[in-house]
Structure 1
Amino acid sequence: MTGFAVDRLIFGPDDIDLSRSPLAGHFDAETYVLGAFNPALTRLPNGNLAIFVRVAEALRKPVVDGHVQAIRWEEGRYCLDAWPLDLCDTADPRKFLVRGGAWKVMALTSLSWILPVELTPDGLEVVTVHYDKAIAPHASFQCYGVEDPRVSKVGERWLMTTCSVSPERHSTTLYTSENGLDFVFEDIVLDHQNKDMLIFEGQIEGKYWAQTRPLGDLYFAYPPGSEWRGGPSINLATSPDALHWKPHREPGIRPHAATVFTARMGGGTPPILTDRGWLTLWHGVEPREIVGIYRTYWSILDRDDPAKVVATSHTPLLEAAPALTQPLEDKMYVRDVVFTTGIADGGDHYIVASGEADLACRITHIPRETFQAA
């Protein structure tokens, strides 16, 4: 779906000063911003918005002397590892596979850190880039980076989930804040590969709720004729304190058999409470080539039982917008990707933040009535 009155890129690779990066000065190799994307979004106490941008910082020359290099944090420093090029599959620009094992082993072409950027209340102008509040690796379980922040305000506290990447584990980690900008590390909260943990912006009967998306290489088939398709889906979990999580027995949102547009799916924005129930924006992926086509969809979940879907739409809410990225054509490395990651109340509309083409941050104003149609 396109044609919203406000739909633009607000922040991208050219807006970042790498001399202020956490990686600056740690090794003798030039880096660049592969992408500044997938921003969390929240409203600050002063009325401004803040996005938390995933900055993927990559080596300008990753292949040196027949080896492909990767950036890694180790004991407070960043260093480079070199892998023989003939052992690596570099077809995907975001990562490379290391051949020779009985299962997939990969390394990344970039290391990600999180950059808070303060915006005007409508989300359309940058106020301050808070390099001093950046979130970067600080432990071995984050040695390949901190990725994909999602921020929820629950009561008077802000909760940020991130993906922490390392050979040890691919875990979900929690940061908290009392003011929406200064976040402190709490702990690992999910000890398995889980790309999209989204904490509901509000409690249900005194419990925290979250959407999760555990991943694996094997999924069981639904019976022939089922309305559902086997594969990655959006699950639910509950917690008494936002640290200790229990999977919910009932399934959440599952890929529908009637469309290949959502053959893979995962969460996007933290669910927010509306008159109809919990509004959640999520992504569906249509398989195509290496990366696939990412689109944004929406559902409304029952306010008392989020396992029940009250309304949903099989028509994409957002699709990739090539016109927006045309000025950044020289930096494009994937296409057909919009990944929605944040939502805030804008009065008669919602302010929606997305990552566009794994490259830049997109802000879209979507009228409230859009979610009354289904």
Structure 2
Amino acid sequence: MLEVKRCAENPLLSPEMVKPSREDFKVEGVFNCGVARYEDEVILLCRVAESVRGAGEGEVLVPVVEKNQEKDEITVVHINKAEHPELDFTDSRTINKMTKQGKKTVYLTSLSHLRVARSKDGVHFTIEDAPFVCPSSEEESWGMEDPRITQIGYTYYINYTSVTENGASTSLISTKDFKLYERHGIIFAPENKDVTIFPEKIGGMYMAFNRPVPGGIGNPEMWLAESPDLIHWGRQKHFCGISHGGGWDNGRIGGGAVPFQTEKGWVKIYHAADRNNRYCLGAFLLDENDPSMVLAKTGEPILEPVAAYETDGFFGNVVFTCGCLVENGIVSLYYGAADDKICRADFSVNDLLAEMKAL
């Protein structure tokens, strides 16, 4: 049995520790962070989700980004529930509408941006008062979600889910110091998310997991893609699907943390959800030279929502990772809990490898 040690300081970051980006905003969650070490600090690039204060009874206020005279500005949409019986407000994260094609999301109830938190010891973090990156009207009018950080040389490549009314795509920015950044645009068109980029070329090409969501045939499952330059991706190959029984991964499956290398091959920590939207984490061991080959995997979750801060929150029963640090044989896994907090859990690389069963 893998020994996973949840940090005694959990949760490390929670909404009340984060300053809203505007006076009329309320921080609903700080979660799903990319992770990196920069100089002598551990950097968490956090997703901060904010809603609008001051909604009246029976009213929902929705923040979106629109372009006004060539400037991106946040607009608040007022929705009276009684005037829209066709809309479903039961999911705290979204406003949905039933169509002939099925459920369609027409609004998100919060707007997310990316914000930096810094720590000397990897446990006690100071989160900055202002966003590191704000959403743009062109690519992220409904927000920026779930960043992953891949360090290649001295550059940190940050891919994240960029959401507009046209769908959830994946965009890329890069930074060398977590102060200035450069945008590189959309790299996977909608609907595609949960992208994790390997930290080095394999066979002369960059590689990345991604998770397209078919609208007709197929399920939300993991694929592998190749790129010569981190911008243009192709040679897509299906990697892994959901289970079809009553298991913990029978709903959807997607990339979690950025892969890391061991003496036995690449380790890929991933997330999966069951049909009740309970999110857990598992791991694959992949061939060093061909990561499409799965050598072994964990049979049961390595982390599942059992602590109160994981079962209760903005959206309960969720543990969801976007990154980890691997130092001195220990995996320090940073994860979002219940879609509103950031936590940490540690375990041994060797113990994780021993837990996996060969295929």
Asked if these proteins are the same fold (TM beyond 0.5), I'd say: yes
Alignment of 1:176-187 (within 5 A): 176-187=174-185
Find the partner of 1:253 among 240, 244, 253: 240
SS state at 1:280 partner: strand
Q: How far is 1:181 from its partner?
A: 5.0
**Closer/same/farther in 2, CA of residues 284 and 168 from structure 1, 3 Å limit:** closer
Aligned identity (percent) is 26
Asked if the contact 2:271–2:280 (Cα under 8 Å) also holds between the matched residues in 1, the reply is yes
Task: Answer yes or no: is the 8 Å Cα contact 1:56–1:110 preserved in 2.
Answer: yes
2:60 aligned residue? 68
Counterparts of 2:99 and 2:217 in 1: how far apart (Å)?
Answer: 24
Query: Structure 1 residues 145 and 188, CA, compared in 2 at 3 Å: closer, same or farther?
Result: same
Q: What root-mean-square deviation, in Å, do the aligned CA atoms of Structure 1 and Structure 2 show? A: 2.2
Report if the CA contact (8 A) 1:116-1:181 is conserved. Answer: no
Give ranges in structure 1 of 5+ residues lacking alignment.
Answer: 221-230
Distance 1:216 1:233 in 2: 9
Q: How many residues align?
A: 344
Deviation at 1:272, TM superposition (A): 1.3
Distance 1:192 1:283 in 2: 20
Q: What are the within-5 Å matches in structure 2 for residues 119-198 of structure 1? A: 119-120=119-120, 122-126=121-125, 128-132=126-130, 134-198=132-196
SS class of match (1:370): helix
CA shift digits 1:214-243 (9 cap, x unpaired) = 0123334xxxxxxxxxx2211000101101
Structure richer in strand, relative to its length: 2
Match for residue 49 of structure 1?
42
* Match of residue 77, structure 2, among 55, 72, 81: 81
In structure 2, distance between residues paired with 1:238 and 1:174: 15
Deviation string 1:299-322 (CA, Å, 9 cap, x unpaired) is 111111111001101111111132
1:1-374 equivalent positions in 2, closer than 5 A: 4-7=4-7, 8-18=10-20, 21=21, 24=22, 30-44=24-38, 46-62=39-55, 64=56, 66-75=58-67, 76-85=72-81, 86-99=85-98, 104-120=104-120, 122-126=121-125, 128-132=126-130, 134-220=132-218, 231-249=219-237, 251-257=238-244, 259-263=246-250, 264-288=252-276, 292-324=277-309, 332-373=313-354, 374=356
Distance in structure 1 (CA, Å) of the matches to 2:309 and 2:188: 36
- State the TM-score, normalizing by the size of structure 2: 0.89
CA distance in 2, matches of 1:234, 1:101: 27
Structure 1 residues 183 and 366, CA gap change in structure 2 (3 angstroms): farther
- Alpha carbons of structure 1 residues 125 and 237: separation in structure 2 relative to 1, 3 Å: same
Counterpart residue identity of residue 83, structure 1? I
Write the deviation string for residues 315-364 of structure 1: whole angstroms up to 9, x where unpaired.
111111324469xx6xx232211001111122131111100000100111
Q: CA 1:371–1:182 in structure 2 vs 1: closer, same or farther (change >3 Å)?
A: farther
Structure 1 residues 199 and 234, CA gap change in structure 2 (3 angstroms): same
In structure 1, what is the Cα distance between the partners aligned to 2:187 and 2:87?
32
Write the deviation string for residues 236-293 of structure 1: whole angstroms up to 9, x where unpaired: 00101101110433x21222345521111111011111111111111111112xxx11
2:248 counterpart SS class:
helix
More helix by share: 1
Distance of aligned partners of 1:248 and 1:201 in 2 relative to their CA distance in 1, 3 Å threshold: same
**Deviation at 1:74?**
1.4
TM-score by length of 1: 0.86
Unaligned runs of 5+ in 2: none
